[in-house]
Structure 1
């Protein structure tokens, strides 16, 4: 499905936290969208397409009629470059001219995991952007481990200590992504996306308690305890990477805010409190259950 018969935007991870929002915003703006996911989930106004990073047989149909990509690497894969880079090379040869990659604020170009894809992207596409959001605000209101733990126990656990993070709203990430995909000139840059303030996990617990009416607490863990808890749920290499990120947060690595959301979208980034209040009004499941 394309706009006025023109090429479409392929959104990978179209059922995910940012992918679903990017696809919906593109459709609302009148762009042709191919919504790619393993389940080919229907999104009003978009063309559903079955897509699996680890099944190259699904890639050709996904790329047909596409000239721009929103790229969400496979979640939990410690070496996403092994499947993402061959796909991007295929996309370039099939006529894709612009790619917007979702990475993370903690992973620079050439860093681990998706950092390898980031490093190679400018050589693959003349028009590109890498979005490096800080931790998602929706980790506390969606299906993330933190949100599930809050719903069942009223608590969540990290090894981040008192370290602060510029948590960012997924709606703001999606708004930046749509600009990067559709503006006349792609940013061609590395955009670190944050919210308007840096918060500790204790601050997050306080806001959730005040806005949901349920007492929420943050329980600190040691690095080793967090790593081992995560390793019971995912490959140990990826669990170690996540625990490493928490340890870096405790040391101040994410204690920053940027103006990237405002520079790209023309409006300020939303606060954590505003996000929780909005998601409560729109019927999304909050930690209060």
Structure 2
């Protein structure tokens, strides 16, 4: 691995950003932990950064040669916000960029797919991480975790469709390699866990490991859209319900060897994640409210 220069991690307190920062600093790399509030992060230099405030960009980029990119949260057109910053980053000396996207969004697709398309033309060294759905959606401040806690139920329109759910720790481990290996991947990397699971499988695993009954209730696309629209803009609710419909049609029924190939170890299973949390006495669902954050929606870090 290379140790020269400083790595800017945008969204350093988020789901993958915090884990990437922790793994980088543990390995001895210099890290700037970027966020709107410049929150202190162990082993890293906190720095204020706001996608929508260009006045914060110069200080964040000072001395940086690599950057981990989390798209701005909830932004319907991230390319319009991100591309001017990326051009500035290149001019400031950044030579490698690693972008978090989604398995559901191809190069040139909607939202962050346009940033993906532009990245190889901006940087000689690059990677786009396209993880499947996060295992942490069942344990963090997300709608699935909340409905598990409150109702013992997972509500989806995925039918019997399967997903290669991935642990955020494994996404971070790939991000670290993409940022620090002598040779950048220069590739689009689809990341999954070790197996594709249906939501029935998820409910069964949670029941078996935690001892608390959890069931998967199957909704139609329209039922899920209307359920989500009670809490979200109707257009966004339709997008989320559409992602479930795509799962039902088999869009996420795959596994890849990317985690093993880049990190040298297999990805962690969902059962292992739940068992580890249970052994540590962590709750199986959060104590705070939140909103579902699907991959590539611009709402995950």
TM-score, length basis structure 2: 0.91
Match for residue 273 of structure 2?
A: 275
Shift of 1:40: 1.7
Q: Residue 192 of structure 1 aligns to a residue in which SS? A: strand
Shift in CA distance, 80/234, structure 1 to aligned 2, threshold 3 Å: farther
TM-superposition CA deviations, 1:139-173 (whole Å, max 9, x none): 00111111122112211211111100010111110
Match for residue 68 of structure 1?
A: 66
The alignment covers a number of residue pairs equal to 286
Equivalent residues in 2 for 1:4-19, closer than 5 Å: 7-19=5-17
Q: Which piece of structure 1 moves more, 174-183 or 36-45?
A: 36-45
Shift of 1:282: 4.1
Shift in CA distance, 190/175, structure 1 to aligned 2, threshold 3 Å: same
Contact 1:78 1:238 (C-alpha < 8 Å) held by counterparts = no
Contact 1:76 1:234 (C-alpha < 8 Å) held by counterparts = no
Q: Which piece of structure 1 moves more, 56-65 or 252-261?
A: 56-65
Equivalent residues in 2 for 1:96-135, closer than 5 Å: 96-135=94-133
Higher relative contact order (CA 8 A, sep 6+): 2
Shift of 1:284: 4.1
CA distance in structure 1 between the partners assigned to 2:279 and 2:30 by the alignment: 29
Q: Residue 275 of structure 1 aligns to a residue in which SS? A: helix
TM-superposition CA deviations, 1:78-103 (whole Å, max 9, x none): 21111111111111111100000000
Unpaired runs of 5+ residues, structure 1, are none
Shift in CA distance, 46/265, structure 1 to aligned 2, threshold 3 Å: same
Match for residue 194 of structure 1?
A: 192
Unpaired runs of 5+ residues, structure 2, are 288-301
Equivalent residues in 2 for 1:77-92, closer than 5 Å: 77-92=75-90
CA distance in structure 2 between the partners assigned to 1:27 and 1:238 by the alignment: 36
Picking from 40, 43, 57, the partner of 1:42 is 40
Shift of 1:46: 0.6
Equivalent residues in 2 for 1:228-239, closer than 5 Å: 228-239=226-237
CA distance in structure 2 between the partners assigned to 1:182 and 1:71 by the alignment: 15
Match for residue 221 of structure 1?
A: 219
CA distance in structure 2 between the partners assigned to 1:230 and 1:50 by the alignment: 33
Q: Residue 140 of structure 2 aligns to a residue in which SS? A: coil
TM-superposition CA deviations, 1:225-252 (whole Å, max 9, x none): 3223333434443332222111100001
Contact 2:140 2:286 (C-alpha < 8 Å) held by counterparts = no
Shift in CA distance, 123/236, structure 1 to aligned 2, threshold 3 Å: farther
> What's the Cα RMSD here?
1.7
Match for residue 170 of structure 2?
A: 172
Match for residue 265 of structure 1?
A: 263
Q: Which piece of structure 1 moves more, 41-50 or 216-225?
A: 216-225
Q: Residue 61 of structure 1 aligns to a residue in which SS? A: helix
Contact 2:200 2:215 (C-alpha < 8 Å) held by counterparts = yes
TM-score, length basis structure 1: 0.94
